Amino acid sequence: MTRLRFALVVLLFTTIPVVATAAAAPANVAQWDRFEVTLPGPAEGNPFADVQLSAVFTQGKTSVTVKGFYDNGGTYRVRFMPQRQGAWRYVTRSNVAALNNQTGSFNAVAPRKGNPGPVVVKDSFSFAYASGAAYVPVGTTIYAMVHQEDPLLERTIASLAKAPFNKVRLCVFPKWYSYNHVEPPRPPFVGDGQGRFDYARPNPEFYQHLEKQIDRLAALGIEVDLILFHPYDENHWGFDRMGRENDERYLSYLLARLSSFHNVWWSMANEWDFVKRRTVEDWNRLFDLIAAEDPYRHLASIHNGTKFFDHHRAPISHTSVQHPDVRRLYAWRKEYGKPAVDDECEYEGNIEAPWGNITPQELTHRFWVGFVSGGFVGHGETYVAPDEVLWWARGGELRGQSPSRIAFLRKFIEEAGGLSPLPDQWPFDRTPAAKQGNRYVIYFGNHQPSIFTSFMTDQLVKDEPSLKTATWRFEILDTWNMTRTPIPGVHKGKFSVTLPGQPWMALVATPTK
Amino acid sequence: MTRLRFALVVLLFTTIPVVATAAAAPANVAQWDRFEVTLPGPAEGNPFADVQLSAVFTQGKTSVTVKGFYDNGGTYRVRFMPQRQGAWRYVTRSNVAALNNQTGSFNAVAPRKGNPGPVVVKDSFSFAYASGAAYVPVGTTIYAMVHQEDPLLERTIASLAKAPFNKVRLCVFPKWYSYNHVEPPRPPFVGDGQGRFDYARPNPEFYQHLEKQIDRLAALGIEVDLILFHPYDENHWGFDRMGRENDERYLSYLLARLSSFHNVWWSMANEWDFVKRRTVEDWNRLFDLIAAEDPYRHLASIHNGTKFFDHHRAPISHTSVQHPDVRRLYAWRKEYGKPAVDDECEYEGNIEAPWGNITPQELTHRFWVGFVSGGFVGHGETYVAPDEVLWWARGGELRGQSPSRIAFLRKFIEEAGGLSPLPDQWPFDRTPAAKQGNRYVIYFGNHQPSIFTSFMTDQLVKDEPSLKTATWRFEILDTWNMTRTPIPGVHKGKFSVTLPGQPWMALVATPTK
């Protein structure tokens, strides 16, 4: 039975959780997959508020406490993501006898291909999977993706399967905003059908739907940067003004359901400073709640409108900002000592709002500047459409010209790992440069040099004396036309080579000692 | 005789000075033209150092003291630019009897067409001619222009006659730098022919040549932003390390010769922070000297490498900076309370150095961003050339594609006067906007909106309640293709118009109450 279940998981090649009842034999669960305990319990009253349920998972001296949650129909669940292989045991705690003191165990086995674990911070400024596998976030934005009718959602997932993105920002709550005036098929709280909601009663049907999409995205190798709060409601549903107690109940329920998903990140808010009824203290309290109830320490941040949040604070793992000037990612790395992500540097599109109408050339340019500056840049697309389906809000199809260029960039980065920026001093204050493995890249952008000499390679290796007498090979990347052209020959000592004298080029310079 | 001389000046339509000997009858001199007293005196010794000469010019209760100077061949001159019309008298003072107590007079008459007076600061952040005539600086850079052989200089002047520029930055001293390794035909000091110079003996032949070029540029309507010191010498001639006494002698001599030229501005230094042997105190002392010996208070500033000088200080009339981010001109206006000029935002070209290889599209873009942000932007061109004649350094011909676009911009600005930037708040933090006369301009740059609605006009007139119900007319400027296309119709109340959805557009919005 155990072997069969494990085989089933492998065959499906997806993240269907291993479900255990209290009576089942120990299951095998792949490291970082989900182990789930299902328990029958009371359905009357408001089980969301009335019933307390948690479980302690132990392995040797390690113990991890997780909350359980009510999933309708008298069913309670406790989920757990094993971060270590080996035998785990658990015992439940509840104020309801039927749910209390239930015990069980399972074996956490080697990770499944396709699940390299959660993304974690690596070497202060980068990311990697917990398994150690490389991960460089190349994100996009589909805020209300999970609140669209199913046919549109299917089109979106199909688009993502072909797109270059390995992270998507999406909101738990629906949006009421330009190009977003759609009622969600499955609202996140139980409603009266008249547009009023009981904020003390989450809607498990919505969460089941959300979870299914998170798993499907995981199968596509996509991380979910889950936006927990946002201001795009303005009392249409009132999710932006539920009050402190409901905010905390909501978040606690969400953490109980979703923390065991290996591919979630917490984005506390979109444009936190535009949310009128919450203070910095409120956000900090909610961060404390995450720190207390997410035992896995998923990546967490908070996205701004015009005012940056203090990203120094725990458990903020990385800066997640909105800013058109991606060059500043270099400075934000230094300032916060954390990976720097510009999730919204303006979107490719042609709507009226300036944040949603830059050219594909400009967005591609910002990706290159941002990545070579040692940060990470996010994509969004906002082309006016007759059916009002804009990628950034609702999904559908990508129509822009930047995604193929972003794919070219991602392939380049994944070829040799993340980029370590060179100091932002002349000449690399004007044309940013980075070290990448044993090679260097200079991104020229709207600069168009026609010559490149040993003066520049001297600058590249200024802090690496062993490379002062290196032999160099060069390659030109045309970041817009997506071509790579080696410059013939090898170069040593005083030299000068001819460059295209065209914009949007990057130069890859590889030294040999 | 007087009438003849005046007629001659008008006929030549240039700024040949009115020359008076002590014995001549009172001349007529146009306001802001040059009046010159020529006196014979001693030629022996070092007249530059040994002879002191000045004159006091008086009109009623106003008196102006100016220094005279030695011009070789036993000839001394005192020059004066009348800033007021009417009768002026003068008396000379000298430590040499032949030059002392010489008196004379002249009449300052209505200004000559072609001389609207020196440029002055207007309304804190703009410029105008002293006559009140409009002047918006659209500058270029030809650092070593006056140190080239005459045929090249003639080509440069011919190019300027066709170019859109009404200001040129040029150095008094020659340059020894990449693309600049040329010995000057007329060095600024007397030399021994072996490359050594007597810094106590200026070379009048050089100054006569320089003055001729300043007058020729005046005839073309071009202001001369004269760079007094620079670091591009590195002891080749030693003009960058003459020592305090020689620096002051040099500057005092130059001020005596050139202050009476209506079209000069003082640029204390190029890249002041790259000049190794002078301190901030040295520069401040030299500014004090300018304040003391230029009675006309010509515009004065000092251009930086990487460190900004404190532009608050008198007699600094405007910021003159080097910086690639022209959007900051908006902030520098506020910070210094003075007109903000970015004289070096990087040049159109294709040389190796990043400051000299941006695309013509990018330089055009920076001009528009800078001007709409309420500042002023300078041009330079650095295309690699087989003969090593690059415009920025030596002149010759303009080969780039930005000058024609700059001409288009200048024509647009001169049509309705300078641009008053709107506050750098959303949405105009992303796409800058300005008021210009009774109309508004928004520069979209690398944004490409396809729609424009009354939401945006509401933002434009946020601080002008009387325009809240205005009727609007719109015109699209394609800043690269240099076309202007009216949007048909008039628009009032809630409206939406279609824009091209292409980059590099500006929108001119004209309300009628």
**Distance (Å, whole) CA B147 – CA B153:** 8
- The structure tokens listed for A234 are 């303005």
The pLDDT, as a whole number, for residue B6 is: 36
C-alpha distance from residue B383 to each of A448, B151, B359, B395 (Å):
10, 20, 11, 12
Pairing of strands A53-59, A27-30: unpaired
Contacts of B350 in chain A (CB under 8 A): 448-451, 501
Nearest to B247 by CA among B274, B271, B281: B281
Nearest to A15 by CA among A295, A226, A217: A217
Ordered DSSP codes for A43-106? -SS-HHHH--EEEEEEETTEEEEEEEEE-STTEEEEEE--SS-EEEEEEEEESSGGGTT-EEEE
Question: Can you tell me the distance from the alpha carbon of B367 to that of B404, in angstroms, rounded to the nearest whole number?
Answer: 12
Contacts of B199 (CB under 8 A, 6+ apart): B189, B238, B239, B242, B243, B246, B249, B250
- From the list A355, A448, A449, the residue facing B430 with the nearest CB is A355
Q: Which residue of B has its CA nearest to A453?
A: B352
For A426-438, write each residue's pLDDT tens digit.
999 999 999 999 9
Pick from A350, A357, A451: which is nearest to B352 by CB? A451
From CA A32, how far away is CA A43, in angstroms rounded? Answer: 31
Confidence category of residue A14, pLDDT binned at 50, 70, 90: very low
ipTM at complex level: 0.92
Contact: B451, A351; criterion CB under 8 Å: yes
Size of interface A-B (CB pairs under 8 A): 88
Chain A positions touching B352 (Cβ under 8 A) are 449, 451-453, 455-456
Chain B's closest residue to A498, CA to CA, is: B352
Q: How far is B459 from chain A (nearest CA, A)?
A: 12
Q: B-side interface with A, Cβ within 8 Å? A: 306, 324, 346, 350-355, 357-359, 361-362, 384, 426-427, 430-431, 444, 446-453, 455-456, 501, 503
Token pair listed for B348? 């159109």
Query: In a 10 Å sphere around its CB, with 0-12 CB exposed, 13-18 middle and 19+ buried, how is residue B430 labelled?
Result: middle
Residue of chain A whose Cα is closest to the Cα of B363: A446
By the 8 A CB rule, do B59 and B145 touch?
no
Q: Do B350 and A448 touch (CB under 8 A)?
A: yes
Compute the distance between CA of residue B477 and CA of residue A152 in angstroms, rounded to an integer.
39
Q: DSSP letters along A344-388, please?
A: ES--EE-SSSGGG-B-HHHHHHHHHHHHHTT-EEB--EE---TT-
State the CB neighbour count (10 A cutoff) for residue A128.
19
**Pairwise CB contact (< 8 Å): B451 & A352:** yes
How far apart are the CA of B450 and the nearest CA of chain A, in angstroms? 5
Q: What is the pLDDT of residue B10?
A: 34
Give the mean pLDDT of A101-120: 97
Q: How far is CA A201 from CA A49, A250, A254, B241, B315, in A?
A: 8, 9, 12, 80, 70
Q: Hey, are the CB atoms on A352 and B455 less than 8 Å from each other?
A: yes
How close are the terminal C-alpha atoms of chain A, in Å?
Answer: 58
Contacts of B424 in chain A (CB under 8 A): none
Shortest CA distance from A350: residue in chain B:
B449
Predicted local distance difference test score (pLDDT) of residue A418: 87
Burial class, B150, CB count within 10 angstroms (exposed 0-12 / middle 13-18 / buried 19+): exposed
Give the β-pairing of B62-70 and A86-94.
unpaired
Distance of CA B330 to the CA centre of its chain: 20
Measured in degrees and rounded to the nearest 5, phi and psi for residue A494 equal -85, 120
Pick from B359, B384, B427: CB nearest A503: B359
Nearest CB to A352; choose among B352, B362, B453: B453
Facing A354 at nearest CB: one of B306, B352, B447: B447
Burial of A329 (0-12, 13-18, 19+ CB in 10 A): buried
A430/B346 CB distance under 8 A: yes
Asked whether B212 and B258 are in contact (CB, 8 A), the reply is: no
Q: Which residues touch B445 (CB under 8 Å, ≥6 apart)? A: B365, B368, B369, B431, B503, B504
CA distance A487 to chain B (A): 16
Q: Among B324, B351, B449, whose Cβ lies nearest the Cβ of A357?
A: B449
Which chain A residue has the Cα nearest residue B306?
Answer: A426
pLDDT in tens, B200-253: 999 999 999 999 999 999 999 999 999 999 999 988 999 999 999 999 999 999
CB distance B419 to B371 below 8 Å: yes
Q: What is the mean pLDDT of residues A442-457?
A: 98
Whether residues B354 and A384 touch (CB distance < 8 A) is answered with no
Degrees, nearest 5: CA angle B420-B134-B121:
70
Say whether B352 and A503 touch across the interface (CB within 8 A): no
* pLDDT tens digits, A372-426: 999 999 999 999 999 999 999 999 999 999 999 999 999 999 999 889 999 999 9
pLDDT at A6 over 50: no
* Residue B351 to residue A455, Cβ atoms within 8 A: no
Tens digit of pLDDT for each residue in A68-92?
Answer: 999 999 999 999 999 999 999 999 9
The β-bridge relationship of strands B86-94 and B103-109 is antiparallel
pLDDT for the residue A358: 98
Tell me the C-alpha distance between B486 and A102, whole Å: 76
Contact yes or no for B450 and A384 at CB 8 A: yes
Q: Confidence band (pLDDT; 50, 70, 90) for A193?
A: confident
pLDDT confidence of residue B193: 86
At residue B137, the pLDDT reads: 98
User: What's the mean pLDDT when you consider all of chain B?
Assistant: 94
Q: What angle do CA B224, B225, B228 make, to 5 degrees?
A: 120
Do A449 and B357 lie within an 8 Å CB cutoff? yes
pLDDT at B21: 56
End-to-end CA distance of chain B: 58
Q: Which of A383, A447, A452 to mutate to test the interface with B (most CBs of B within 10 A)?
A: A447
Q: Taking CB atoms and an 8 Å limit, are B449 and A306 in contact across chains?
A: no
- How far is the C-alpha of B48 from the C-alpha of B248, rounded, in Å? 13
Partners of A351 on chain B (C-beta within 8 Å) are 449-451
CB contact under 8 Å between A353 and B427, yes or no, is yes
Please tell me the distance from the alpha carbon of residue A118 to that of residue B303, in angstroms, as a whole number: 52
Instruction: Please answer yes or no on whether B448 and A357 come within 8 Å at the CB atom.
Output: yes
- Report the chain B residue with the minimal C-alpha distance to residue A444: B354
Q: Which helix (H) or strand (E) holds B207?
A: helix B204-219
Contact predicate A88/A59, CB 8 Å: yes
* Chain B residue numbers touching A346 (CB-CB < 8 A): 430, 447
**Number of Cβ within a 10 Å radius of residue A238:** 16
- Cβ separation of A362 and B446 shorter than 8 Å? yes
Count of helices and strands (H, E) across chain A: 10, 30
As given in the structure block, the two tokens for residue A467 are 């490379």
Binary contact (A346, B431; C-beta < 8 A): no
Regions of chain B where pLDDT drops below 70: 1-26
Facing A451 at nearest CB: one of B351, B426, B455: B351
Q: Please indicate whether, in this complex, the C-beta atoms of B455 and A355 are within 8 angstroms of each other.
A: no
Q: Specify whether the CB–CB gap between B115 and B135 falls below 8 A.
A: no
From the list B351, B362, B450, which residue is nearest A350 (CB)? B450
Q: What local confidence, expressed as pLDDT, does residue B453 receive?
A: 98
- How many angstroms away from the CA of A336 is the closest CA of chain B? 24
Name the amino acid, one letter, at B124. S
- Residue type (1 letter), B326: V
Find, in chain B, the residue whose alpha carbon is nearest to that of A504: B359
- The pLDDT tens digits for A333-362 are 999 999 999 999 999 999 999 999 999 999
Rounded to a whole number, what is the distance in Å from the CA of A323 to chain B's nearest CA? 10
